[in-house]
Amino acid sequence: MTDTATPRRRTRGGGGAARRAERTAVSVETAKYIERNIPNFEVLNEEALQIIETNAETVLAEIGVNFVDSPEALERWRKAGAEIDGERVRIPRGLARELCKTAPSTFTQTARNPERSVEIGGKNLVLAPVYGPPFVRDAEGGRRYATMDDFDKFVKLGYMSKWLHHSGGTVCEPTDVPVNKRHLDMLYSHMSLSDKPFMGAVTEPSRAQDSVDMCEILFDGLDGRTVMTSLININSPMTFDSIMMGALEVYARANQACIISPFIVGGAMAPVSVAGTLTQVLAEVLAGVAYSQLVRKGAPVIMGAFVTSIDMNSGAPTFGTPEASHITYGAGQLARRLGLPYRSAGSFCGSKLPDAQAAYETANSLNMGLLSGVNFMLHSCGWLEGGLVASFEKFVMDADQLGTLHHFAKGVSMDENAQAMGALREVGPGGHFLGCEHTQENFKTAFWRSDLFDYKPFETWADEGERDTVSLASARVEKMLGDYQQPHLDPAIDAALRDYVRTKKESMPDAFS
């Protein structure tokens, strides 16, 4: 049972310095993306699915969606056969679904280390870290605005995390770098501090173009390869803004992947019911994915669904709740019927601290993510306080739990060794299996083991200061950052990337909003 890609990197050109760098690099183990050998859990029956699909077509045909400040997009839709009324686009029944058919059901996102490339779609699950928090928190310093230094640390932690396949995107917002330049530093951080696949900028079409340009440098020409998966949020309900659509257009034209994702707090941006929300999610995704295919047939896309419930007392979004699970399971079924890769779930929680609330909510969400057939799980570690905060401790706590998903997804081996009839005969009634041959041969790989949790005898634990999970996680963060060694990058490429960033930064004044 080998579930990990071999950690050694291949040598690439670069002369003596590169070879020396390679020789001293720490070997970092990264598990292969999850290939499920288990069924999906399906909460909706055929009748329910058909109702939702019919209703979504009704939404598109009769209510329509808005493409705001995007005359080009409206023109594309008009040519495709939609009815345009101001910025409203009404899409005849079946048209959007038909257009979606040219989107691939699975695609490869190439990493600069080819052993870290991921296959997105099918029965696979690729795990990426938290995205977007303006704040960070750690046990020592509490909650504060995120900086570029924090960003680099999260990229390093992601690189060092065995069960994480993807370096992610905006692992936190580096608020100390001007808004119009921070994407350059973030991209350079992912490109130079990690060799896992990553995400591009979406905050302006020009920044998406910068992302593509920098990838051209990093990959020494793209040759049609998909090397980024980027996050295009829909302004739910049913609104597509020109910034996000502009970024989508840049990526689609360059054959780079986008997650097209409704962003919904239930009861606010969608109806306060599971069936109504699923209808809206499907309508929005159909319109968004269809639009990506109007820009370029065959552009790789992922059906996204970011949906939380709401606490109607406080108005706060709530996480790890049963209704969010219903929606996540249902949207997975809709994605598979549409033949698209699916993005949802994550280490979601509303708690302010990485405490028990955070862990209950997160575990609920991670488990549903695995069983609902998610193919790309953004936010799979580090999420805190409704996504406002990236937590260092929670990052390593969640990243450790991701190991349970890998092991559960393997399914149950039924080969002769696993049947263990020899062991049952050898030990018999009243015996003990610890010493038997079968146990000796299998115990090392039989059970998943946390690299973080406390499994010590009570007395040892008490003697060592009664440490809780946060305390263990703080120590682990420190250890991982201490052990971190930068993966090799061709110095010529590194110099060209630095040059690109410097030149771009010098070309415009700083902007902080």
- Binding to its own copies (CB under 8 A) within 9-28 occurs at none
CB of 331 to its own copies, least distance (A): 12
Per CB under 8 A, which region of 91-99, 113-121, 208-216, 348-356 contacts its own copies?
Answer: 348-356
**Is position 457 an interface residue for its own copies (rule: CB under 8 A)?**
yes
Q: Is 495 in the site for its own copies (CB under 8 A)?
A: no
List 230's β-bridge partners, or say none. Answer: 258
Among 26, 446, 495, 508, binds its own copies (CB under 8 A): 446
Amino acid at 462: A
Binding its own copies by CB under 8 A: which of 187, 193, 227, 371? 371
Q: Are 192 and 494 in contact (CB under 8 A)?
A: yes
- N residues, the chain: 513
Q: Considering the rule CB under 8 A, would residue 86 count as an interface residue with its own copies? A: no
Query: Whole-angstrom Cα distance, residue 300 to residue 255?
Result: 7
**Beta carbon nearer to its own copies, 22 or 241:** 241
CB-wise, 468 or 510, nearer to its own copies? 468
113: contact with its own copies by CB under 8 A:
no
Binders of its own copies in range 118-157 (CB under 8 A): 143
The Cα 280–Cα 260 span in angstroms is 14
Q: Minimal distance in Å, beta carbon 295 to its own copies?
A: 20
Peptide bond into 71 cis (omega under 30): no
Q: Which is nearer to its own copies, 255 or 261 (CB)?
A: 261
Q: Which stretch binds its own copies (CB under 8 A): 22-30, 180-188, 204-212, 315-323?
A: 315-323
Q: Which residue type does 341 have?
A: P
Closest separation in Å from C-beta 304 to its own copies: 18
β-pair partners for 235? 239
Site for its own copies in 211-250 (CB under 8 A): 235, 237-239
**Nearest approach, Cβ of residue 411 and its own copies (Å):** 7
Least separation in angstroms between residue 85's CB and its own copies is: 11
If one asks whether residue 34 binds its own copies (CB under 8 A), the answer comes out as: no
Q: How far is the CB of 394 from its own copies (least distance, A)?
A: 8
Instruction: Select 287 or 299, whichever has its Cβ closest to its own copies.
Output: 287
User: Could you say whether residue 320 binds its own copies (CB under 8 A)?
Assistant: yes
List CB contacts of 125: < 8 A, sequence separation 6 or more. 33, 34, 36, 369, 370, 374, 375, 376, 377, 405, 409
Q: How far apart are CA 393 and CA 461, in angstroms?
A: 20
Q: Name the packing angle between helices 148-160 and 182-193 (round to 10°).
A: 30
Total residues in contact with its own copies, by rule CB under 8 A:
123
Cβ neighbors of 251 (< 8 A, separation 6 or more) are 200, 208, 212, 228, 230, 232, 257, 258, 299
Q: Which is nearer to its own copies, 33 or 159 (CB)?
A: 33
Which residues 6+ apart lie within 8 Å of 502 measured at CB?
none
Specify the residue, 242 or 357, whose C-beta has the smaller distance to its own copies.
Answer: 357
When asked if residue 57 is in the footprint of its own copies (CB under 8 A), the reply is no
Q: DSSP secondary-structure letter at 272?
A: S
Binding segment for its own copies (CB under 8 A), chosen from 166-174, 296-304, 422-430, 494-502, is 422-430
Applying CB under 8 A, which of residues 133, 266, 300, 346 lies at the interface with its own copies? 266
Helix axes 356-371, 322-338, angle to 10 degrees: 20
From 503, 477, 512, 464, select the one nearest 175 (Cα to Cα): 512
- Minimum separation from the CB atom of position 31 to its own copies (A): 13
**Contact region for its own copies (CB under 8 A) — 167-175, 200-208, 249-257, 325-333?**
325-333
- Of 159-218, which residues contact its own copies (CB under 8 A)? none
**Residues 380-399 within binding reach of its own copies (CB under 8 A):** 385, 388, 394, 397
Burial class of residue 43 (count of CB atoms within 10 Å of its CB; 0-12, 13-18, 19+): middle
Closest distance between its own copies and the C-beta of residue 313, in Å? 7
Site string for its own copies, 267-306 (x = CB under 8 A): xxxxxxxxxx--xx--------------------------
Six-digit token string for 410: 């393997």
CA dihedral of residues 95, 98, 100, 101 (deg, nearest 10): -170
Q: For tokens 């760098």, name the residue.
A: 21
The distance of closest approach from Cβ of residue 62 to its own copies in the complex, given in angstroms and rounded to an integer, is 8
Cα(144)–Cα(139) distance, integer angstroms: 12
CB of 100 to its own copies, least distance (A): 20
Q: How far is the CB of 48 from its own copies (least distance, A)?
A: 5
Q: What Cα–Cα distance (Å) separates residue 507 from each residue in 180, 186, 192, 213?
A: 11, 18, 23, 16
CB of 363 to its own copies, least distance (A): 3
Q: Which of 512, 433, 504, 54 is nearest to 278 (CA)?
A: 54
Which sign does the torsion angle of CA 147, 148, 151, 153 carry? negative
Ranges within 459-488 binding its own copies (CB under 8 A): 461, 466, 468-470, 473
- Based on the shown chain and the rule CB under 8 A, indicate whether residue 2 belongs to the binding site for its own copies: no
Q: Residue 375 and residue 7: Cα distance in Å, rounded?
A: 23
Smaller CB separation from its own copies, 6 or 50: 50
- According to CB under 8 A, which one of 132, 350, 373, 382 is a site residue for its own copies? 350
In angstroms, the CA 225 to CA 33 distance is: 19
